[in-house]
Amino acid sequence: MQIQCTKKLLDELKVKPSAPLEEEPLYSWHANLLTVGRRKTVVLVNDSNRYVVVLYGVKTKDFKKIDELILHAIRETFRDEGIMDEAIEQLISQSKEISFTKTKNRTLVARMNKACETLYFYEDLLNTDSLYQSSLSKKISRLLVGDGKKSYIYPNKELYKDLEGLTGRPIFSLKAMELHVTLKLEKYKVWRRIVVPVNMTFSNLHKILQIVFDWKDYHLHEFYIYADKPTENVLSINHLAYHEEEYQPIVNLVCSEEAFNYADEIPMKLETHVKLSEYLPAKVKYNYDFGDDWQHVIEVEEVVEDYAVNYPICLDGEGNTPPEDVGGETGFEEFLEIIADKTHSEYEFMNTWGRRQGYQDFDIKMINLRLKSMW
C-alpha cells in the first residue's frame, strides 16, 4: 500500500520517503496532516475512488506506528460501512506492506486538498474520544465530488464498486432490525415499518425518521430508551419519557450539548456516536418538536442477521404526517377539516400553507429513493 504524503506529513513522520511506485490506484492513497481543534489530524484519500479516512488526535508516539494505525483506521471505517471482513482483509492483504512516498500527481493532490477543506465543515462529527473517525469519514465520502470535466461521483459508491470488482461477490452482510414506528395520535393512524442496519447511530436513525415521516428537521429531538421489563412508573403522565405500559427510561439520548442544561433524573447522553446495537432491541421513544410534541413509539419486530445492503429501507406505512408547526394534534385536526371543505373561507390558504410545510401523501417509492441516496 502506497501512502503519498505531503511534505508536512513526511516531516512529522521523520522517514525518508521511498521512490514513488506505479501502484494500482485502489492500493494507493494521498495523505495530508492538518491541525483541527488543536489536534493533529491525518487525512487519507484513496486514489481510485476518492474515499476519505480520517485519524484525529494523532500524538507524537502514534507517528512511530502510523502504518499500523492507518490499517486499523481503514478496517474500522469500512466495517462501519457494513463491509464484510473478508472483503476488507482481501484488500489489505493484496495491498502488501505500506510505503511512504512523496506526492506525484497534481490532480490527486488537489482532490485531497478539497477533501481536507470539506473536513472543517463537519468538525461537529468528530469523536474526541477516538483516534478513528468513521462517522466523519463516511460523511465526507458521501458527498458528490468532481471527477473530471462534467463528471461527478460519490466516493462511497465507487469504493463499493471497487471492492465488488476485487472480491467478485457482494460485500455487505449486516445485522439489521425491522422497526415499527407509530406517531402517537388519538384520532389518526400514522405509522411506518422500516429496516435499519444496527451499526448506524441514533443520529442516523433521527435522519431516517425525518425522511420516512416527511418531517423537515426544523426542530429539536430526543430519544428515550427503556428497560426491558415494566416497573412501577413514577414519571408524571406529562413527562416526555412517560410510557403507557410502565416501562422505565434508562437513558435520554439528546441532539445537542445544550440539552444537558435541563437534565433531570434520567441519565443523558449525546446521540451522535451511540449506535443502535448498544440498546436495541429495547423499546424506544422518539420525540420531535417540543412545541407541537410529536411522539413516536419505536418497537423492534424482527432481527435480520444477513441484511444485504448498508442503507435503510421503508417496507410499509399508513397515514400522512401532520404539517410542520400545525399546532399539535388539535391544530392538525383543524387543518384537516379545512382542507376537506372547499367552501371554507380558509381552504385555499390552508392548502397552500400545508404544501409549503411539507404536507403530502405517503409515498413509499419516493421515501426509499431518498433513503438510498442518503446512504
- Residue 250 has a pLDDT of 96
- Residue 238 has a pLDDT of 86
Instruction: Return the number of other C-beta atoms located less than 10 Å from residue 218's C-beta.
Output: 12
The Cα 203–Cα 143 span in angstroms is: 18
Work out the pLDDT band at 91, boundaries 50, 70, 90.
very high
DSSP state of 97: S
- Residue 251 has a pLDDT of 97
- Residue 245 has a pLDDT of 87
The Cα 1–Cα 68 span in angstroms is: 12
Instruction: Give the mean pLDDT of 342-362.
Output: 94
Q: Write out pLDDT tens, residues 168-198.
A: 999 999 999 999 999 999 999 999 999 999 9
Nearest one of 188, 190, 191, 218 to 336, comparing CA atoms: 188
Residue pair 100/17 in contact (Cβ under 8 Å)? The answer is yes
Share of the chain above pLDDT 70, in %: 100
List the chain domain ranges.
2-167, 174-321+359-374
Instruction: Give the mean pLDDT of 118-145.
Output: 94
Instruction: Give the mean pLDDT of 293-302.
Output: 97
The Cα 5–Cα 33 span in angstroms is: 9
Instruction: Tell the residue number behind the cell numbers 397515514, with chain if given.
Output: 319
Residue pair 294/287 in contact (Cβ under 8 Å)? The answer is yes
- Residue 295 has a pLDDT of 97
Residue pair 273/201 in contact (Cβ under 8 Å)? The answer is yes
Read off φ and ψ for residue 348, nearest 5 degrees: -60, -45
Nearest one of 54, 62, 51, 43 to 27, comparing CA atoms: 51
* 174-321+359-374 CATH, one of 3.40.640.10, 3.90.470.10, 3.10.290.30, 3.40.50.2030: 3.10.290.30
How many residues in total does the chain contain?
A: 375
Instruction: Return the number of other C-beta atoms located less than 10 Å from residue 15's C-beta.
Output: 15
Q: How far is CA 297 from the centre of its chain?
A: 21
Work out the pLDDT band at 255, boundaries 50, 70, 90.
very high
The Cα 62–Cα 72 span in angstroms is: 12
- Residue 38 has a pLDDT of 93
Per DSSP (E only), the strands in the chain are 2-5, 28-36, 39-46, 52-56, 99-102, 145-146, 152-153, 174-183, 190-197, 221-230, 247-254, 268-270, 284-288, 294-307, 313-318
Residue 77 pLDDT > 90: yes
Residue 234 pLDDT > 80: no
Residues contacting residue 210 through CB under 8 Å, at least 6 positions apart: 216, 217, 288
Task: Tell me what the pLDDT averaged over the chain comes to.
Answer: 94
Return the SS3 of 275. strand
The Cα 147–Cα 137 span in angstroms is: 19
Find out if CATH 3.40.50 is the number for domain 2-167.
no
Work out the pLDDT band at 153, boundaries 50, 70, 90.
very high
DSSP secondary structure string for all residues of 192-241: EEEEEETTSBHHHHHHHHHHHTT----S-EEEEEEEEEE----S-TTSTT
Residue 303 pLDDT > 80: yes
The Cα 166–Cα 201 span in angstroms is: 29
Residue pair 43/115 in contact (Cβ under 8 Å)? The answer is yes
Residue pair 125/207 in contact (Cβ under 8 Å)? The answer is no
Instruction: Give the mean pLDDT of 222-238.
Output: 86
Q: Write out pLDDT tens, residues 4-26.
A: 999 999 999 998 888 777 889 99
Report the interhelical angle of 328-339 vs 347-356 (nearest 10°).
130
The Cα 213–Cα 208 span in angstroms is: 9
The Cα 20–Cα 293 span in angstroms is: 59
